[in-house]
Structure 1
Amino acid sequence: MQTTDTPHVASYYAASANPSPTRPALQGETRCDVCVVGAGFTGISAALHLAEQGQQVVVLEAARVGFGASGRNGGQLVNSYSRDMDVIEARYGEQTARALGDMAFEGNWIIRERIARYDIACDLKDGNLFAACNAKQMKALIEHKALWERYGHERLELLEGQAYRQDIGSERYVGALLDHSGGHLHPLNLVLGQAAALESLGGTIHEQTPVDRIEHGEPVRLHTPQGMVVAERVVLAGNAYMKGLLPQMEGKSMPASTQIVTTAPLDAVQAEAILPSDRAVEDCNYLLDYYRLSADRRLIYGGGVSYGGQDPASIEGAIRPKLETTFPQLKGVKVDYAWSGTFLLTLNRLPQFGRINSNVYYAQGYSGHGVTCSHLAGRLIAEVMAGHSERFDAFAGVPQLPFPGGRALSVPLTTLGAWYYRMRDALGI
């Protein structure tokens, strides 16, 4: 059986990616200490940590390195999780909240350490803002700042009233919270840079190599169209693209997609007018908008969620009204790129970590907060394989419940819930 050559989607990131080699598909049988399925942030982060420990690592990727959400997202470094610490504490207790809270800001620093250690060119810029659209959201940001400070995160600045205008040239907001430790970057170049670092340490990546079947045991055998990997341990890191390799979790997660457009390059005056401090922004709506400038002064603007992973008829048609509401001065601006990215949503909006038997590990379901948390996941997987399981188990111990009715019923129910919250956002209640 021949594999097909699956290219990157036609995104701004793919068009501006650093040069990267084409990695050949797996042919025949190979053996390794650890086989990683999926070459996105989770898989490459885990593989790089493991290679640094001296493990022999083989990565299998069905398409290209960074093909999925890791190479298509908004490129924002946002701390913590999709459910914040107060919700975790209320639902799962103080011990779990403290364990997860101690790691809530670590993924950001892992990324920065990787960029510095391996000299990865990915346009890293500092600072991200949470922008309040109404008084209720502003009150929530004040509480949010106090919550994060309670968990040790001190690099926060509240921008009340019109103070946010020093960072955002829009009249849409009533205030903002600035996280000086956050930031933004070119996500595809970040994962490509880490893949190159992995290969420099002796790791192997096979692209265009989907895994058809896993034969669990000691060792594990992973069957591909033209070969097989025999591995002592396995990491399943395909997230929304796992395709039947983790059936016990499929009813407990749901693919969802978000849409992004990228404008033509703005002139210096336009860029200064909309984002004078060159920081990333996301608003506080349930179905939030997020945006930032690229290194060549394009506005990268995303928003909304399509449940079940289905795209709208026109991505530009869905996003342009949001962009022009935020920045009326850009009305009619040319859009050069429009694409979507599929991520994996969980019912409790917390990531799913776990084991199958004693030698297969998985991490997935970041629910829209995957850039930083996936890098944390890679470190924790390497830790547990080295015999230090406490931090991995803090996530693995969080109960993961199925969506009511499974995936088939969850899409219309979730869409109905999203409509409800969209109305709340619109009414400011």
Structure 2
Amino acid sequence: MPSPSTSHVGSYYAASANPSPERPGLQKEIRCDVCVVGAGFTGISAALHLAEKGQQVVVLESARVGFGASGRNGGQIVNSYSRDMDVIEDKYGTDTAKALGDMAFEGNRIIRERIKRYDIQCDLKEGNLFAACNAKQMKGLVEHKALWERFGNDQLELLEGQAYQREIGSKRYTGALLDHSGGHMHPLNLVLGQAAAFESLGGVIYEQTPVTDIAQGEPVRLTTPQGSVIAERVVLAGNAYMKGLMPSLEGKSMPASTQVVTTAPLSEEQARDILPNDRAVEDCNYLLDYYRLSGDRRLIYGGGVSYGGQDPSSIENVIRPKLEMTFPQLKGVKIDYAWSGNFLLTLNRLPQFGRINDNVYYAQGYSGHGVTCTHLAGRLIAEIIQGQRERFDVFAGLPHLPFPGGRLLSVPLTALGGWYYRTRDALGA
């Protein structure tokens, strides 16, 4: 029986997951073309792309498929990156912004392609909203719409003034931007469905199989507690759950925790009152709230960040005031599930892609914007392993500085920054 630390957390997603086998751990030495470390969105996306190209791929997972952020997140299909193309253009130039902009909406399309091709049942719904909490944020949404249209997204609708209330039954906002190309889904079922698709193509996944050592060379040897893998290529996709395996990557990133609750099922009238068209929503605060309805009419509401990956003493006490401020009509609603999960921050809030010794690849640090970008990462990793390096190298060329003082000092410093931005959010600055 798996220990609690390597089983899925007690989330709504785990409780409502589609049937999936418990895969045995690795207990022998094996060989393969590519070994992927981590069975979340990045790892499974890369593995599936590679298997479709005929590669012999093995995935090693220290816990269960979708154990980390991929099986715990808000389930929102939001386009682009944690830093948008205007920031990228200012810092890294027009060519880099154009290259990244050309890929900014691709992860969304990959998700939908996977769902359709492999008939993945994950409660896919259409549309997501960015909700402005003040006039300054609304002005930002007008600019955001123009920016995304410049990079090819023509499915955006600005909801000015009270027009947003056709989508959100709350008086908290001053307007919203609706992205009709976005959406939401059950994230754990999405990754489980892709894992099953990968296995249907001959791929192999070993759960409860942490990697304890990587001996770099040609080939690479990966050691596990009861076995080993000899692989021509390796993909590191553990993200926030890869502590100690590759120390050279850790100084340039920091785990952070976010909290999520799920209510008891709402009545049809309640659900229609708060989210009439069943869209996903995130606000425009720096420390944002995000929410949506599940397939069985529960409100899934997330928010709050704990730097360093530490959980608050009561998740419900953190989230309930936010939920009830947004939807006073749900005051006192029963909370059935509350959980947290780690994601990985980078200093510039852009993902880190790269290579180590030419045959070890990594992708990490999506900074809270990983659902779509992980799926793009999987495709780009598959491309570079197949000899097409141009698109991967655009990301790999982004400079990434370490957090000042390493992780020991970065947690209090980043928490101080979080306090600053929380104050700015509260003041509408």
Answer yes or no: same fold by TM over 0.5: yes
In structure 2, distance between residues paired with 1:186 and 1:231:
33
In structure 1, distance between residues paired with 2:250 and 2:91:
23
Counterpart code for 2:20: S
Instruction: Say whether the 8 Å CA contact 1:351–1:366 is kept in structure 2.
Output: yes
Counterpart of 2:164 in structure 1 is 164
User: What SS is found at the alignment partner of 1:149?
Assistant: helix
Instruction: Say whether the 8 Å CA contact 1:36–1:59 is kept in structure 2.
Output: yes
Counterpart of 2:129 in structure 1 is 129
Instruction: Say whether the 8 Å CA contact 2:259–2:302 is kept in structure 1.
Output: yes
Counterpart of 1:110 in structure 2 is 110
In structure 2, distance between residues paired with 1:4 and 1:267:
37
* Residue 164 of structure 1, CA deviation: 0.4
Matches within 5 A, 1:2-13: 6-13=6-13
Matches within 5 A, 1:156-305: 156-305=156-305
Matches within 5 A, 1:68-147: 68-147=68-147
In structure 2, distance between residues paired with 1:11 and 1:167:
27
* Residue 170 of structure 1, CA deviation: 0.1
- Figure out how many residues of one structure are paired with residues of the other and give that number: 428
1:371 and 2:343 aligned: no
User: What SS is found at the alignment partner of 2:391?
Assistant: helix
In structure 2, distance between residues paired with 1:3 and 1:317:
30
Instruction: Say whether the 8 Å CA contact 1:129–1:281 is kept in structure 2.
Output: yes
* Residue 94 of structure 1, CA deviation: 0.8
Instruction: Say whether the 8 Å CA contact 1:4–1:208 is kept in structure 2.
Output: no
Structure 2 residues not aligned, in runs of 5+: none
* Residue 307 of structure 1, CA deviation: 0.3
Deviations along 1:367-411, whole A, 9 cap, x unmatched?
A: 000000000000000000111000000000000000111111111
In structure 1, distance between residues paired with 2:246 and 2:91:
26
In structure 1, distance between residues paired with 2:52 and 2:388:
16
Matches within 5 A, 1:394-405: 394-405=394-405
* Residue 249 of structure 1, CA deviation: 1.5
Instruction: Say whether the 8 Å CA contact 2:156–2:178 is kept in structure 1.
Output: yes
In structure 1, distance between residues paired with 2:428 and 2:365:
29
TM-score by length of 2: 0.99
Counterpart code for 2:99: A
Instruction: Say whether the 8 Å CA contact 1:263–1:335 is kept in structure 2.
Output: yes
Matches within 5 A, 1:310-349: 310-349=310-349
Instruction: Say whether the 8 Å CA contact 1:3–1:209 is kept in structure 2.
Output: no
* Residue 324 of structure 1, CA deviation: 0.2
Deviations along 1:278-327, whole A, 9 cap, x unmatched?
A: 00000000000000000000000000110000011100000000000000
> Structure 1 vs Structure 2: percent identity of aligned residues?
82
User: What SS is found at the alignment partner of 1:341?
Assistant: strand
The 1:170/1:82 distance shift into structure 2, 3 A limit, reads same
* Residue 244 of structure 1, CA deviation: 1.7
* Residue 4 of structure 1, CA deviation: 5.0
Counterpart code for 1:266: L
In structure 2, distance between residues paired with 1:420 and 1:242:
29
Counterpart code for 1:342: N
* Residue 358 of structure 1, CA deviation: 1.2
In structure 2, distance between residues paired with 1:220 and 1:420:
45
In structure 1, distance between residues paired with 2:401 and 2:46:
26
Counterpart code for 2:228: M
Instruction: Say whether the 8 Å CA contact 2:7–2:64 is kept in structure 1.
Output: yes
In structure 1, distance between residues paired with 2:350 and 2:43:
18
User: What SS is found at the alignment partner of 1:102?
Assistant: helix
In structure 1, distance between residues paired with 2:206 and 2:249:
25
In structure 1, distance between residues paired with 2:10 and 2:188:
13
Counterpart of 2:388 in structure 1 is 388
User: What SS is found at the alignment partner of 1:342?
Assistant: strand
* Residue 3 of structure 1, CA deviation: 8.2
Counterpart of 2:414 in structure 1 is 414
Deviations along 1:334-370, whole A, 9 cap, x unmatched?
A: 0000000100000000000000011100000000000
In structure 1, distance between residues paired with 2:2 and 2:26:
10
Deviations along 1:129-153, whole A, 9 cap, x unmatched?
A: 0000000000000000000111111
* Residue 248 of structure 1, CA deviation: 1.1
* Residue 247 of structure 1, CA deviation: 1.3
User: What SS is found at the alignment partner of 2:251?
Assistant: helix
Counterpart code for 1:308: G
* Residue 243 of structure 1, CA deviation: 1.8
Counterpart of 1:351 in structure 2 is 351
User: What SS is found at the alignment partner of 2:384?
Assistant: helix
* Residue 245 of structure 1, CA deviation: 1.9
In structure 2, distance between residues paired with 1:405 and 1:22:
41
CA RMSD of aligned residues (A): 0.9
User: What SS is found at the alignment partner of 2:116?
Assistant: helix
User: What SS is found at the alignment partner of 1:252?
Assistant: coil
1:65 and 2:45 aligned: no
Counterpart code for 1:129: L
Counterpart code for 2:379: R
Counterpart code for 1:71: G
Counterpart code for 2:171: E
In structure 2, distance between residues paired with 1:245 and 1:389:
25
Instruction: Say whether the 8 Å CA contact 1:3–1:225 is kept in structure 2.
Output: no
User: What SS is found at the alignment partner of 2:39?
Assistant: coil
Instruction: Say whether the 8 Å CA contact 1:34–1:231 is kept in structure 2.
Output: yes
In structure 2, distance between residues paired with 1:135 and 1:160:
10
* Residue 246 of structure 1, CA deviation: 2.0
In structure 2, distance between residues paired with 1:423 and 1:25:
47
